[in-house]
Amino acid sequence: MTMQPKPAHLGPRYGAQFKDQSVAEAYRHRPPYPTETFAILAGLIADEPRAVLDVGCGTGRAPRARWRRWSRAPADRANLTWIEGPVEEVATRPPYALITAGASLHWMAWDVVLPRFATLLTPRAFLAIVGEGQRPVPWAADLQPIIDRYSTNRDYRPYNLVEELERRGLFRKVGERRTAPVSFRQAIGDYVESFHARNGFSRERMPAEAAAAFDREARAAIARHAGGDSVELHIYGQVVWGKPA
């Protein structure tokens, strides 16, 4: 049976943008996961050893937050281990009582990593797919056409990651929880900069004049509704857990 190809907008040439320096520098402006997210993840661990593998962890923001919550100890303890390399082939240290993936799984080779995850997990362990969202904002209708106009990912189509994996027989959903929304406030400039850490807005892949125009138009669209020089977002975490094929 031939595996259905991934949607074009999730292909390698778009995933590669997350290696760009500008994306790495802008990532700190993306909103954090609500603390409740990590309580949900901790509750999914049922086996020993209580080892967790976070794939595509980037700067390690989520693993560090988990470690602080679960251990109440510094985040640089010896049992927080960094592994660098493509998850499709890098050496790991199984077994794991939980594998987590945030804004990263959609860029991986699904037909390789999902079967691999199944071999790395303990018998009662899950793969947890972690996401974050936000309540509707008043500037959304004005901002979306600007995003559509300047994004370099011209193949983008709305999609549901879990449904894409289930359709291919690579994942079986077991449960899902969403956190309560929490308030997150940041300067309009930082909020606009956060888009440059997202799909289609790497500064290295945008003409300089296009990046500047996006920033200028986005700021203006948001400012018309924000009522000041900052925005307030109401963000929530979402965890879907299940069994990889």
Alpha carbon distance 38, 128 (integer Å):
11
Alpha carbon distance 233, 72 (integer Å):
28
**How high is the pLDDT of residue 60?**
65
Alpha carbon distance 94, 98 (integer Å):
10
**How high is the pLDDT of residue 73?**
47
Dig out the tokens for 40 from the structure: 């949900």
Q: What's the Cα-to-Cα distance from 21 to each of 24, 55, 161, rounded to whole Å?
A: 5, 20, 26
Give the SS3 label for residue 122.
strand
Q: Which domains does the chain have, with CATH numbers?
A: 8-244 (3.40.50.150)
pLDDT tens for 102-146 read: 989 999 999 999 999 999 999 999 999 999 999 999 999 999 999
Of 23, 15, 25, give the one whose Cα is nearest residue 204: 23
**How high is the pLDDT of residue 224?**
96
Query: pLDDT below 50 — which residues of the chain?
Result: 72-73
Q: What count of residues does the chain have?
A: 245
**How high is the pLDDT of residue 174?**
98
